[in-house]
């Protein structure tokens, strides 16, 4: 089957080649239906309401991969369901294991050939901490934000994921965990794409994951990440959800963040942090700030003090993350001692700070790395131009010069 490190008998296959041409649109994924929509589907066929509950249980708790497996339904209804819906939108999946099996990287090929990734991370019980199993999922195929230290940014934007394509990443991981009698404890929207640029579908996915009639994961075990889409953060605040908001900050100076997070050319740091601050006040939930540490770029004492001044007194937590290798970027991760000094500056300012150690480096577990590998190498001349541009832009940013280039296509739309 060409799959590395499979530890369960699940039907997991390595995606190969382009998908077959289809004359008709793909069937909708059944996991993307709200409870009322499924009930309406059965009612239109004269079936009682409890049939919808039977199907929902099979999809979310019984782990059914087709209607044929729902033996509590009459054969006629099973056949109709299988002609109306797909029970698995991420079935063509490759799994790679790393860290002695503690990290599982999944590459999912969707029906149109788009590639997305999810990463399942296992954390054994330690001291007073219980065992955890956290899944990082994607909300888009590719990404329009264009962060140059991220492999997904190299791929560009393909399309938004449908609700079922988001939650089926979760269902796929749950089936793998069930083989060993384990259960998923946390879901983080930190995979490929910018969740707040696909906010309607992300909110539907969060609702499905949180709904006791469907997956039933507590809102406080769900984290939604953003590169700083201010209108999306404001909308989340208005809705008042209790899940955790994570902001990919990466720099506390606008000139530098323009380079690291091109989307910031539309929303300056003060606006991003202001929106996150309001979200924390409204929900009572601490905001998590993610900072990818890049040697000689955003890890200087000046940057550490700027971040301390920016976040001092906020209900916030900062995660410092060494940069993962990205093939077409001239940068490397900050040395450990530099990251530790940066963390000390934030801690001295009273800001909760954690240094996160990367996992799964040998299997390309960082966002977009495996999909980028499958997409092939760009021309050498293009790589050289990209590297030269980033070197020039980062040098200008360190001098305090802001970029006047337009924000990426689709950003904030």
Catalytic (active-site) positions = 117, 367
Would you state the structure tokens that stand for residue 226, as one six-digit string? 């953003």
Which residue, chain included where needed, has tokens 């909708």? 28
Residue 288 CA: distances (Å) to CA of 1, 73, 263, 319: 40, 45, 19, 7
Instruction: Give the whole-angstrom CA distance, residue 290 versus residue 227.
Output: 9
Question: What is the SS3 assignment for the chain?
Answer: CCCCCCCCCCCCCCCCCCCCCCCCCCCCEHHHCCHHHHHHHHHCCCCCCHHHHHHHHHHHCCCCCCHHHCCCCCHHHHHHHHHHCECCCCCEEEEEEEHHHCEEEEEEECCCCCEEEEEEEEECCECCECCEEEEECCCEEECCCCCCCCHHHHHCEEEECCHHHHHHHHHHHHHHHHHCCCCCCEEEECCCCCHHHCHHHHHHHHHHHHCCCCCCCCHHHEEEEECCCHHHHHHHHHHCCCCEEEEECCCCCHHHHHHHCHHHHCCCHHHHHHHHHHHHHHHCCCEEEEEEEECCCCCCHHHHHHHHHHHCCCCEEEEEEECCCCCCCCCCECCHHHHHHHHHHHHHCCCEEEECCCCCHHHCCCCCHHHHHHHCCCCHHHHHHHHHHHHHHHHHHHCCCCCCCCCCCCCCC
Residue 356 CA: distances (Å) to CA of 319, 347, 369: 6, 15, 18
């Amino acid at each position: 089957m060409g799959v590395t490190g499979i530890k369960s008998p699940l039907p997991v296959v390595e995606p190969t080649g382009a998908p077959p041409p289809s004359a008709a649109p793909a069937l909708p994924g059944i996991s993307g239906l709200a409870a009322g929509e499924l009930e309406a589907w059965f009612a239109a066929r004269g079936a009682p309401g409890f049939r919808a509950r039977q199907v929902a249980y099979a999809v979310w708790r019984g782990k059914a991969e087709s209607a044929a497996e729902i033996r509590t339904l009459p054969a006629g209804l099973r056949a109709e369901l299988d002609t109306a819906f797909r029970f698995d939108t991420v079935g063509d999946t490759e799994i790679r294991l790393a860290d002695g099996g503690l990290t599982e990287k999944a590459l999912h090929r969707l029906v149109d050939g788009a590639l997305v990734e999810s990463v399942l991370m296992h954390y054994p019980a330690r001291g007073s901490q219980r065992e955890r199993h956290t899944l990082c999922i994607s909300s888009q195929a590719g990404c329009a934000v264009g962060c140059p230290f991220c492999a997904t940014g190299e791929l560009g934007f393909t399309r938004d994921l449908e609700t079922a394509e988001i939650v089926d990443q979760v269902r796929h991981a749950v089936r793998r965990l069930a083989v060993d009698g384990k259960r998923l404890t946390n879901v983080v929207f930190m995979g490929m794409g910018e969740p707040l640029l696909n906010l309607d579908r992300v909110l539907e996915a969060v609702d499905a994951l949180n709904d006791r009639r469907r997956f039933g994961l507590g809102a406080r075990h769900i984290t939604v990440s953003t590169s700083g889409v201010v209108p999306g953060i404001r909308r989340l605040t208005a809705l008042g959800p209790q899940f955790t908001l994570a902001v990919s900050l990466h720099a506390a100076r606008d000139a530098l963040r323009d380079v690291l997070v091109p989307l910031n050319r539309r929303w300056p740091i003060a606006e991003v942090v202001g929106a996150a601050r309001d979200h924390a006040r409204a929900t009572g939930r601490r905001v998590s700030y993610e900072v990818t540490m890049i040697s000689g770029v955003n890890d200087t004492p000046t940057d550490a003090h700027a971040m301390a001044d920016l976040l001092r007194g906020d209900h916030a937590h900062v995660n410092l993350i060494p940069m993962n290798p990205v093939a077409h970027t001239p940068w490397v991760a900050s040395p450990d001692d530099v990251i530790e000094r940066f963390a000390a500056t934030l801690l001295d300012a009273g800001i909760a700070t954690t240094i996160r150690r990367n996992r799964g480096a040998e299997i390309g577990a960082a966002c977009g790395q495996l999909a980028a590998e499958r997409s092939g190498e760009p021309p050498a001349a293009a790589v050289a131009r990209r590297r030269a541009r980033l070197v020039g832009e980062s040098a200008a940013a360190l001098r305090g010069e802001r970029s006047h280039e337009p924000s990426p296509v689709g950003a904030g739309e």
